[in-house]
Amino acid sequence: MQQRSTRHRARGALQEIPVAAAIVLVVVGALMGHVGINGKKLLVAVDGLVLLAVFYYFILAPGWRPGAAAAPRLMLRRMLFGLLAVLVVSGVVVFALLYGVH
């Protein structure tokens, strides 16, 4: 039996993360108008976690291979993920602290 290359085995592997993120974002959008202030803060925090998972999956995971050396430009991708993580977390924190304050 002929072995398939990594490229063929991984085809379509990136489809489940955007679909799951889209489902979460649609559910959060539908619930946002029906919950109180603390519920909205919780939903925004869940959105932030989903965004971090998506960023991790798209920025860091594609270059990783089991048993292989470090991925190309790994440090640059780690810094990009760190920057995006700081932006998402700070946005969630600012929303949680300032939303509902009069």
Per-residue pLDDT reduced to its tens digit, 40-60: 899 899 889 988 888 888 887
pLDDT of 15-30, one tens digit each? Answer: 777 888 888 888 888 9
Say whether 4 sits in a helix, a strand or coil: coil
Q: Are 69 and 43 in contact (CB under 8 A)?
A: no
- pLDDT of residue 97 exceeding 80: yes
Q: pTM of the full predicted structure? A: 0.70
pLDDT value, residue 7 = 54
